[in-house]
Amino acid sequence: MRVPDSNLQEIESQGFTIVEDFLDAEALGAAQEALFEFFPRPSDYFAAPDAYESFSRSQFSGLRLFPYPSWALNRLAVTPDLVDAAERFCGTTDLSLYKVELWAKYAGAIDYDQVHHRDYGNHTLVVPQSASSHRQMTTFILLSDVTETDGPTKVVPQKYGKAVPLVPSQLQKGEMFDKEVSVMGKAGTLFIYTTDVLHRGSNFTAPGRSRFALLVDFEPRGLAWTGKMAWPDRVSPHWNDAMVRMTPKERSLFGFPKPGDSYWDAQTLRDVGLRYAGMDMTPYRAVGE
């Protein structure tokens, strides 16, 4: 669904928003099934947790980086309604999709509780500038139902958090816990927030529970001191498949040269077409030859 203007306005006032029923049932169902190509199904995990001890090494052991084996997951990162929300929030159609992570958590694997922190620490070399037009939009797409027992993200509305200095980026254990709001919703819910908002991960409070989410972040293209992933470093057969399936606009979110860019000439058209077998080069050929 298209993110309503009222939700984007809510980000302005409180630093975050929650959009229920963001994904349609077909896209959600396909993505949920694709999760288990590389994550254990909850029933399998809880039947033999010792067989999956890797999830107990750190809170972040369940992170998997883009691209994924299934188009059903890869396509979520470039969902048109998500890109549209980012364009409206960032105030430009020239966007960079600078991070995609898939995160699985299982109750009892490890203590997922965190202190409140701001994400700018690994999204920029400096700090967010309040008056800047270069805005980073960070998101969680919930791929499982999240209730209070499922380790929901806890976020502090800006009416409380704004007064807390940006540095240091994290608080002491327990600080602002009395001001936090739980990010809950059915699978398919979208959570949008900014990198200067205080938030934290929380622990499961019931056994046999699991949580899956896709994290997708956008920003206006151009600043050298912001970002997170170097996409050329993620190239793999899964990457090639994702690029071939995407539209030129979707590829450009990752930095792929747009149609009309001076990069395109007879040589690059030929060789990129060979590298990405099956890619329709027609949109690039219009001005490249």
Looking at the domain assignment, is residue 269 inside a domain? no
Per-residue pLDDT tens over the stretch 88-106: 999 999 999 999 999 999 9
Examine residue 243 and state whether it is found in any structural domain, yes or no. Answer: no
Mean pLDDT of 11-33: 97
Domain assignment present for residue 188? The answer is yes
Token digits for 227?
């970002």
> What pLDDT digit, counting tens, does each position of 170-180 carry?
999 999 999 99
Task: List, in sequence order, the alpha helices (H) in the chain.
Answer: 5-14, 25-35, 42-47, 71-74, 80-90, 158-161, 237-245, 248-252, 266-275, 282-288
Domain that includes residue 17, residue range: 5-238
What pTM does this model have? 0.96
Phi and psi at residue 241, to the nearest 5° = -60, -45
| Local structure of 217: helix, strand or coil | strand
pLDDT score for 24: 97
pLDDT at 18: 98
**pLDDT band for position 130 (cuts 50, 70, 90):** confident
Task: Note whether 138 and 195 are within 8 A (CB).
Answer: yes
- The predicted-structure confidence for 147-164, as pLDDT tens digits, reads as follows 999 999 999 999 999 999
Over the stretch 208-243, which tens digit does the pLDDT of each residue have?
999 999 999 999 999 999 999 999 999 999 999 999
Torsion over CA: 237, 239, 245, 251 (sign): negative
Peptide bond connecting 168 to the previous residue in cis, omega within 30 degrees of 0 = yes
Instruction: Provide the pLDDT for residue 286.
Output: 76
Tell me, yes or no, whether 75 lies in a domain.
Answer: yes
Q: Structure tokens of 251?
A: 């590829």
Please count the structural domains in the chain. Answer: 1
For residue 131, the model assigns a pLDDT of 78
256 within domain boundaries: no
User: Does residue 121 belong to any structural domain of this protein?
Assistant: yes
Q: What percent of the chain has pLDDT over 90?
A: 97
pLDDT in tens, 31-86: 999 999 999 999 999 999 999 999 999 999 999 999 999 999 999 999 999 999 99
Q: Answer whether residue 271 is part of any domain.
A: no
Spatial CA neighbour of 95 closest among 64, 131, 139: 139
Quote the pLDDT of residue 287: 60
- Which pLDDT score is estimated for 289? 54
CATH number of the domain that residue 143 is part of: 2.60.120.620
Q: Is 177 left (phi over 0), alpha (psi -120 to 50) or beta?
A: alpha
Other Cβ atoms closer than 10 A to 32: 17
Q: d(Cα 186, Cα 28) in Å, to the nearest integer?
A: 11
Closest C-alpha among 153, 170, 20, 8 to residue 91: 8
| 11 domain-assigned | yes
pLDDT of 11 strictly over 80: yes
Q: Which amino acid does the sequence have at 45?
A: Y
CB atoms within 10 A of CB 23: 26
Amino acid, single-letter form, for residue 56:
S
Query: What is the overall mean pLDDT for the chain?
Result: 96
